Structure 1
Amino acid sequence: MKLPPAAAIPARHFKPLRVANPVAYLQRKAAMSGATLPEVPSFATLALTTTPTVSTSFLGLAFPDSQCGPGCEPPDTQVAVGPNNVVEVTNIVARIFDKSGTLISTLNLNSLFDVDPSIFSSDPRIRYDTISNRWFISFLIFDNADINMAQNGSFYLAVSSSSDPTQPFYIYNFETLGAFPDQPSLGFNDDKVVTGGNSFSCSPTNCGDVTLPYLGMEFIVWSKADLVAGVGAPAMDFYPADEDPSDFGVQPATSRSSTSTLFMLSDDEYSTQNHVTVWSVTGVPGPDAGSSVATTVLPIATYSDAPLAPQKGNSTNPIDTGDARLENAIFRDGLLWGTGTAACTPLEDSVTRSCLQ
């Protein structure tokens, strides 16, 4: 299917469930009809012409450090860098280094988020925000130690009280009834923070059943000012899982330059694989109009899922490089960058490889 030009595709607008307290729904909705699609950032294609110089290297968390027992894989490794520190998170462990690689501390994420260590938890993400000078960590937690008995999932969010990751964090959570937000994403701009996830049904009592239906992307828009200030009940808008049941893996952008619009990016990695969708989140959760979301679709060159990658020294055990969903998004200086995995044949090669897109 050939997509028409982006300008010919009408924008879609979404209405959130307005939530003032992240622990309980207050069930009031904002009227947002007639919203105008914000300006969509430019897209750029860049050929890598130079190789960055490595100033130092050091070992991160290894499997014995995982603290989650045998079979705890994949490790879901995430790394962020602040003014003075490098912080790595895996399934349930965080480790803080200085920039020379000296180990400062190791902490269990269940302890950080103050949850029962027997409860199933996973999929952390960590970002350092250069605008607010704060660390943000998102986390997925179920309501049962046994994923096959879980009925609900929860978004958890930790926000540092300073630019020093060894200092206390403010902790927030939001329960998603009857569903769980798989692989929670995390992004922010000047005045908003978004945590989102690929929502799967837990009906009736089994979040671990891979045959249960995919419900769509769900996400929360948080007031960044409230989070940074450590407000006990920050203003937030919840956008339920039917926002877009076709795209998969909507990634909120980490904004590295000032913008009043928080952009998100997704692709249709299960179907036509020839477009991306730009989500524009405007407004701020609170007692007034709150946030609103609009989308526009942009055609790109058709892509396909990456093949298995050969593993050096073990030809019988190839590496699963995943599918073609987007993994990350960055906004900076008017450009929106998205990354994912796709198949390609490199120059001077005749074999289809797993490549960065």
Structure 2
Amino acid sequence: MLIRRLIISIIILGNLFVAIQPTVSAQQTLGNGSSTNTYVVNESSSLHVTHIGEVSVSNLPRVSHPASGGMFVIPFHPKDPVSYAADKNHTEVVQSTTSFAKITAAPSTSAKITAAPSTFTQASSSPASITAYPQFDGINEGQSSCGCTPPDVQVAAGTSYVVEMVNTEEEIWTKTGTLVSSISLSSFFGTGTDSISDPRILFDSLSGRWFASMLDITTNSVVIAISNTADPTAIWTLYSINFGNCADQPYIGLSDDKFVISGNDFGLGCNSPFQGAEYIVINKSSLLSGSPLTSSDYKFFGPNIGEFAVRPVQNLSSNSTLFMVSDDGTSSTNLYFYKIVGSTPNVSIQKITLQINPINNPLNALQKGTTVPLDTGDNRIEDAVWFKQRLWLTLNDGCTPSGDLQSRACVRLTELNTTTSSVLQDFDIAKPNFYFFYPSLSIDSNSALNVVFANSSANNYPSIMFTAQTLSDPANSVEPLQILKTGTAAVTFLSSQTGGIARYGDYFGSGVDPSNPAHVWMAGEYGSTASLWATHIGNTNAIPVANAGLNQTVTSGSTVTLNGIASSDSDGDPLSYSWTQVAGPAVTLSNPNSSTPSFVAPTVTSSTILTFKLVVSDGIVGSNPSTVSVTVNPPTCGVSLSQTTITYGTVKPGTTPVNATNNPTNLSNTGSTTSTLTVSAGNWTGVGSTVFILVNETAFATSPITSSVIPTHLNLNGNPVTILSNFVGMSTIQTYWQLIPKLFHTTTGTLTQSMTFATSC
């Protein structure tokens, strides 16, 4: 049940209501537009916690999902019904007077996302880095024994199972989507025929236990359940917390040593005016022990009429401080940040006021196929989690997307640094013509934010969307939005009982998978033709990234090894590899399903490019392809001559040197492939010499050489000498080296050369 805006700021003292008093005489300015108070409270003796006992899920009767009987709308309880109605009616007037004739078909999900109030962009134009698998349908209206709307959707994952709670039903699934158990929450919480609502569930990886809660409207209490082990199908221990009032929409959160449950107090079965926000801090280890609690194990705070919808935070990494957040459900710029420190019963709470962008109540959402709008709720905080000094929270906001004509329902995301008590990011997810609402979020082990929320438009049925912000994404941006489940029908269930507005929400759920904390499970409501409302469950999964390695240049006949070892998966899932050739002369890859397949470069007569594609998979989804090019050049053939010492003159190998002249001289070396030639030294000037080398075309090959021979590495006294290459066809099988020196008297030196005779084959 939703309780709307906070307007009243006075403190009401009643039989069970104790005002929170500041312990300091003045506020302490913190900077960054924030202020802080430390509060204490006297506990009322009529508020207590009762140990109910244990319940074995395996012994509970299974729900056979008969057709539900009388159908009804879960009551809606704003704090100030008159102010809330005026606020919503104002947005309805804006909606009805805006020309929708200009609105065309909804943009595709790949269109650029815009937002207000802060600059919000899509993280990149590249494909999204996450997907959702496995996914499966959860509880729907046809399976609900209460016959009520809207569905309050909650989901959490443990080491082996996924648990969904919706209104008065619970289903337990394997992580592949096989239904294990379906039970009534009245049986599970032991509430009998009492009126119950607003289930919550989470899995605490730090203790390896499940925590759940349910509002019992009949008894003005909240029942909490703690599993005795990590198995949700086994035994749980139950406690009943007497709030003294109807604690509407209770929230739960925990740290290393504390468990907190909060609620918005209304009297007379949630049918009287708002009494204030109330929360209780309980010793976590005492709950885990399963024993009855004593007064030293817990401490009540409130109810305080000046607070509303105070949301405890789930710590996803180790920390004894338990955080809470609230925006008071009002249209303002204040965000209230709470730190609960100490051990029960001597805990203290520090409350810090931070400034954020203005928040507003969201416009009710249009949907395809009907004039009945969807109730998008108010702007209270919908979800909040903490991981490694970062606290993310989310809520419904009213904003005007960039390029739009009017206000829409938007998803606000705000990140806090809990060490410095400062705001790091604060922006809306919004899109022209679209409505986004009822967000839930979690943070995976890679510190990536994962968000799920509802969406609809005049051209789209109510559906479920999700997105993420990874550490590599810019601030105030998210990955491309993706559809988790596409709606197939409008949701109009019992709208005639609520002034022609269809109740939706009241909240979605999400939770990290402790077996693979890089994955987040999420669930929400969508429009289904199979039932009056339906829910869907999915698991986020990072899309692996293929890396086919660097481009290569090789010679015909070479063995080439491709290298995909740099491919990655941010979830840490093991990868499989699939290589295929997409261009160039066909070759055979050895082991194309390995990270480093190889092949023999084909014979080519000119430079040729071969292209290969790599796709990797984490066993859930394949990557986008990565390609690599291999350039194959013709082979290099010929004979290498060893380093040759030439003393200037004309001799045959091994003969006595002869003094040189300036005339061209021939040196013949018959039938040899490697020659050491000696010519007597003379007096030369400088090193800028030119040497012509003529080589018989059949000298060093079994078939005629068809292109010129290129000698290299000619030096005089260690200095390079310019070489001009010239080819002269000879008819005899001899090698002729014709040296034409242009060196003159001044320097005595030794001319050394190391030549490679290279040619195409």
* TM-score of the two chains, using structure 1 as the length reference: 0.81
- Decide whether aligned partners of structure 1 residues 8 and 51 sit closer, same or farther in structure 2, where only a CA change above 3 A counts: closer
* Cα pair 1:247 1:269 within 8 Å, conserved: no
Give the CA deviation at 1:356: 1.0
Give 3-state SS (helix, strand or coil) of 2:352's partner.
strand
Q: Which residue of 2 aligns with 1:296?
A: 352
Counterpart among 35, 39, 42 of residue 9 in structure 1: 35
Give the CA deviation at 1:6: 5.3
- 2:50 is the counterpart of 1:23: yes
* Cα pair 1:94 1:108 within 8 Å, conserved: yes
Deviations 1:152-187 (A, max 9, x none): 51021000111111111110011122x110000010
* Cα pair 1:311 1:317 within 8 Å, conserved: yes
Counterpart among 213, 218, 223 of residue 156 in structure 1: 223
Give the CA deviation at 1:126: 0.6
Counterpart among 174, 192, 195 of residue 241 in structure 2: 174
Q: Which residue of 1 aligns with 2:382?
A: 327
- 2:256 is the counterpart of 1:190: yes
Deviations 1:302-354 (A, max 9, x none): 1111101111222x111111110101110111011111100123344444221
- 2:172 is the counterpart of 1:91: no
Give the CA deviation at 1:216: 1.4
CA distance in 2, matches of 1:111, 1:237: 28
Q: What are the equivalent positions in structure 2 for 1:1-357 lying under 5 Å apart?
A: 5=31, 9-17=35-43, 22-23=49-50, 49=123, 50=128, 52-68=130-146, 70=147, 72-116=148-192, 118-143=193-218, 152-177=219-244, 179-200=245-266, 202=267, 206-209=268-271, 212-233=272-293, 235-242=297-304, 245-270=305-330, 272-286=331-345, 290-314=346-370, 316-357=371-412
Q: Which residue of 2 aligns with 1:42?
A: none
What amino acid sits opposite 1:207 in the alignment?
A: G
% same residue: 34
CA distance in 2, matches of 1:124, 1:306: 24
Deviations 1:188-219 (A, max 9, x none): 0100010110111x2xxx3242xx32121101
* Cα pair 2:41 2:302 within 8 Å, conserved: no
* Cα pair 2:199 2:214 within 8 Å, conserved: yes
* Larger Rg belongs to: 2
Give 3-state SS (helix, strand or coil) of 1:126's partner.
strand
Give the CA deviation at 1:355: 1.2
Identify the structure with bigger relative contact order (alpha carbons < 8 Å, sequence gap 6+).
1
Deviations 1:17-46 (A, max 9, x none): 28896139xxxxxxxxxxxxxxxxxxxx98
Please, which runs of 5 or more residues in structure 2 have no aligned partner? 1-28, 52-118, 413-761
Give 3-state SS (helix, strand or coil) of 2:309's partner.
strand
Please, which runs of 5 or more residues in structure 1 have no aligned partner? 25-44, 144-151
Give the CA deviation at 1:75: 1.5
Give 3-state SS (helix, strand or coil) of 1:53's partner.
strand
* Cα pair 1:196 1:219 within 8 Å, conserved: yes
Q: Tell me which stretches of 4 or more aligned residues in structure 1 moved more than 4 Å.
A: 4-8, 18-21, 45-48
CA distance in 1, matches of 2:319, 2:35: 24
* Cα pair 2:401 2:408 within 8 Å, conserved: yes
- Decide whether aligned partners of structure 1 residues 333 and 99 sit closer, same or farther in structure 2, where only a CA change above 3 A counts: same
- Decide whether aligned partners of structure 1 residues 332 and 8 sit closer, same or farther in structure 2, where only a CA change above 3 A counts: closer
* Cα pair 2:197 2:216 within 8 Å, conserved: yes
Q: How many residues matched?
A: 310
* Cα pair 2:246 2:270 within 8 Å, conserved: no
Give the CA deviation at 1:16: 4.9
CA distance in 1, matches of 2:167, 2:277: 22
Give 3-state SS (helix, strand or coil) of 1:259's partner.
coil
CA distance in 1, matches of 2:230, 2:239: 18
CA distance in 2, matches of 1:79, 1:321: 20
CA distance in 1, matches of 2:213, 2:135: 26
CA distance in 2, matches of 1:330, 1:92: 25
- Decide whether aligned partners of structure 1 residues 192 and 303 sit closer, same or farther in structure 2, where only a CA change above 3 A counts: same
* TM-score of the two chains, using structure 2 as the length reference: 0.39
Deviations 1:241-294 (A, max 9, x none): 12xx23321110010011111000000322x511110111111225xxx22212
Give 3-state SS (helix, strand or coil) of 2:262's partner.
strand
CA distance in 2, matches of 1:296, 1:46: 26
What amino acid sits opposite 1:240 in the alignment?
A: G
CA RMSD of aligned residues (A): 2.3
* Cα pair 2:34 2:355 within 8 Å, conserved: no
- Decide whether aligned partners of structure 1 residues 156 and 254 sit closer, same or farther in structure 2, where only a CA change above 3 A counts: same
- Decide whether aligned partners of structure 1 residues 260 and 348 sit closer, same or farther in structure 2, where only a CA change above 3 A counts: same
* Cα pair 1:119 1:142 within 8 Å, conserved: yes
Give 3-state SS (helix, strand or coil) of 1:225's partner.
helix
CA distance in 1, matches of 2:299, 2:309: 19
CA distance in 1, matches of 2:36, 2:388: 26
